[in-house]
Structure 1
């Protein structure tokens, strides 16, 4: 085990390790009735690329790409509710799924963010950025930064 730049002990993450080792926690959330503008503000405040949409039985994901797509159309983001534009059919990973399996799952599903949990309650989220950090660290022989901690 090595020490990272913050003085914490760092563990080298391998493709066969569980995704819980690289997932970001806590998960940024926004209520389904919130405006897209409010969700965009949350994305910026949490420095994240996606928020989990919760409330009123709705469970989805809104990403920075979703927001940019709307901005490109010139619509008023304050006038659109998250529930109307979120991705609803989410692909999930379980905390014990391997990093390699989750990477494959994301490529197959063509998604950039994947909630980690039981299919209804998220305990984390993994992004392509998280997976890239593992890949770069493996190439360099180092340890990727641990997101959300």
Structure 2
């Protein structure tokens, strides 16, 4: 069974905290329940609408293969179940920045881009030990 790099339930606190910049994209500001993480996440809300105070499960993984085998980077029509089958919205991207937590009150931060849709996740540095710069990430979301 594949092990997630991170998984938690988030509650949306605000939409577009810096104002609406794109027609089909909404930046959500959310806080996690279990690990007290803070996140900014760009979502294509034309295909996956989200509202304030809504809760969703978010997971990060380096592969979609249920057995945990590495992702090849090439799309093949799956003949078997993948982690994506249990989620409603999935994005593939790359981790482009890791901060060690010196500037955010001892909290670490990672930044990833999913085809131009950005994610910033901030929290206790112990949650970021499994990440590497330029690491391929899959972000998986389903509403709860």
- Structure number with larger C-alpha Rg: 1
Q: TM-score, normalised by structure 1?
A: 0.24
Q: TM-score, normalised by structure 2?
A: 0.25
Q: Which structure features the higher share of helix residues?
A: 1
Higher RCO (CA 8 Å, separation ≥ 6 residues):
1
Q: Which structure features the higher share of strand residues?
A: 2
